[in-house]
With several copies, the nearest count.
Chain A
Amino acid sequence: MNKENLYNYILGIADNSLILAQRLGELCGHGPNLETDIALTNISLDLLGQTRSYYQYAASVSGDSKTEDDIAFLRLERDYKNVLLLEQPNTHFGYVIGRQFLFDVYHLLFMQELQKSKDETLVAIANKGIKEVSYHQRFSSDWIKRLGDGTKESHDKIQEAIDALWRFTDELFDLTENDNTMVEAGIAVDVSKLKEKYYKSVAEVLTEATLTIPESKFFTRGGKTGTHTEHMGYLLADLQYMQRTYPDMKW
């Protein structure tokens, strides 16, 4: 394991938080009611906070003059390593909750393991983040139940979203070459080992929500190696707009 491995590993985690925070940021001011609007913005803020901690750490690891903003805003699309699930659009509130839930269950398991890392900074970030993430998971699970066991319309809408997003879940448990190196070094979480627990937890909530667990065995992947869905380019065009248009300035 070298510096570059660690740098890349941090980015792989951080990009997930950044891209989900960005998607949630789009919703601010457009929620179904004020309470939900505020709650989703809170989640976005938590994720942004985590993102900043990770990138700041990555910047310090890189040793060059890079800042958190250079890392966040000035990479090419192929260099963002977030999972495909998180870049999927806010098609409707069912998709927002479905995406959040399918990530939160993973994220909480991940954070619990990251607390055991040999890297102290990552442990510190995980210690702080885990409270936030367990709140997120409670929030999204509650909404899965409300929508699933609410009205006929809401049941169908959240089922539609879960069915559509399901194919992006398997990627969460992929290990890249870099991940493997970092697992061996005792720093990275071996996400492949979280899979069983994940699908069990997800199934429990879906079942309580009177929803059907999708059966498809066909999954889409690519985010962890930087091959994104066609939604990603548009997300980045907005995200990077200011930094690209006004290079090398302070804000």
Chain B
Amino acid sequence: MSEKELKNLEEIFEARIARDEKIEPKDWMPEKYRQTHIRQISQHAHSEIVGMLPEGNWITRAPSLRRKAALLAKVQDEAGHGLYLYSACETLGISRDELYEQLHSGKAKYSSIFNYPSVTWADMGAIGWLVDGAAIINQVPLCNTSFGPYARAMVRVCKEESFHQRQGFEIMLTLCNGTPEQKDMAQDALNRWWWPSLMMLGPTDDASVHTEQSLKWKLKRKTNDELRQQFIDQTVPQADLLGLTIPDPDLKFNEETGHYDFGEIDWDEFWQVVKGHGPCNKERMKARVDAWENGTWVRDAAMAYAEKQAKKKVAKAS
């Protein structure tokens, strides 16, 4: 392809996106578009499956049968999200094994929030309420993103996430309406998850490297700081409703802007966790790698069996 032809294709491509047309896997796309999408979709998929771990930690200890079943179902949904997202990613010409390899080797990232430990039952509430809440704010705009398979996966994901978010809030509400010990547990969970949740919306705009290009491709529709403000504005009244105190002495409603002002985020902590030095990075990665490695013989068996069966069929047919 000549340089001119390439430029032409790129122009047509950008025009399609500008017209809000969906790009499908078989369509021509710039290599950078493909790579950026592989990076983002797989990162998202990895976040789902690593995100199973802090919640999975409480399945055996859930305090009632109803909560146990709901938690199991929620963690299972996350596995399901992982599945759609890996599938969407595979349409871009990368295999699931390669994607796992990137995760296990540390080359691919996942959402840093899952590197914090889940230390009490109230964390199941806080994760649903805050973490899923922040995730939805990140993800809703992606239902209209330009890459078709990703956009469609997100529609499904967002619907379930918002169910999870309500469920998390309801766990918090039950605790806050419960005994003083339960309310303490809820407040403690909010204290620990609040700041990491704010960090989930990504670094501040001036530190964010991918924003401009991502806005053009509709992988982003708002900047990180806008999303963060939206999350805070939405969450503070919910905390009030619960009767919990957001652990930020600088938090205050600004009558002029109509938004909440808030205190400084500890970006050193953020970067430390991103770089692999959070409280549970090692544990999370070990859990994933162990699951994968302990499962090798199982996957091999399934493959060997399928091949034997296929051969038998062929033998019969001939």
Residues of A in contact with B (beta carbons under 8 Å apart): 22, 25-26, 28-38, 41-42, 44-45, 48-49, 51-52, 55, 68-69, 72-73, 76-78, 92-93, 145-147, 149-151, 153-154, 157, 164, 167, 216, 218, 220, 222, 227-230, 232-233, 237-239, 241-243, 246, 249-251
Contacts and interface: CB of A to CB of B under 8 A. Distances in A.
Contacts of A29: 49, 52-53, 56, 75, 79, 287, 291
Nearest to B182: A249
Contact of B72 (A25, A149, A151, A228): A25
Interface in B241-291: 272, 277, 279-280, 282-283, 287, 290-291
B89 to A, nearest CB: 13
B306 to A, nearest CB: 8
Given A218-B272, A237-B61, A246-B182, A154 B297 contact: yes
B68 A48 contact: yes
A151 B280 contact: no
Nearest to A238: B60
B295 interface: yes
Contacts of A167: 277
Contacts of A243: 63-64
27 contacts: A25-B60, A25-B68, A28-B59, A29-B56, A30-B287, A31-B295, A32-B298, A33-B298, A37-B76, A41-B72, A41-B76, A52-B66, A69-B64, A72-B65, A146-B305, A149-B305, A150-B305, A151-B300, A222-B279, A227-B192, A228-B117, A230-B54, A230-B117, A241-B61, A242-B62, A243-B63, A249-B182
B294 A151 contact: no
Contacts of B62: 242
B238 interface: no
Contact of A145 (B68, B181, B287, B305): B305
B121 interface: yes
B79 A41 contact: yes
B305 A51 contact: no
A179 to B, nearest CB: 21
Contacts of A48: 65, 68-69, 72
B57 A230 contact: yes
Most chain A Cβ neighbours within 10 Å, of B49, B53, B299, B302: B302
Contacts of A77: 119-120
A158 B62 CA distance: 31
Interface residues of B, number: 62
Contacts of B165: none
Contact of A33 (B68, B75, B120, B299): B299
B269 to A, nearest CB: 11
B308 interface: yes
Contacts of A233: 57, 61, 119
Contact of B179 (A157, A239, A249): A249
A132 B136 CA distance: 33
A230 B280 contact: yes
Nearest to A237: B61
A150 B66 contact: no
B64 A151 contact: no
A69 B75 CA distance: 22
B80 interface: yes
Interface string B176-220: 001101100000100010000000000000000000000000000
Nearest to A221: B279
Given A29-B49, A246-B63, 10 more contacts: A25-B68, A26-B60, A31-B291, A32-B298, A45-B72, A93-B294, A145-B305, A151-B301, A153-B297, A167-B277
B120 A78 contact: yes
B18 interface: no
A30 B286 CA distance: 11
Contacts of B111: none
A86 B27 CA distance: 52
10 interchain residue pairs of minimum CB distance: A32-B295, A150-B301, A154-B301, A218-B277, A242-B63, A29-B56, A29-B52, A32-B298, A251-B63, A146-B305
Given A44-B72, A150-B300, A52 B65 contact: yes
A164 B184 CA distance: 33
Nearest to A30: B291
B300 A154 contact: yes
Nearest to A227: B119
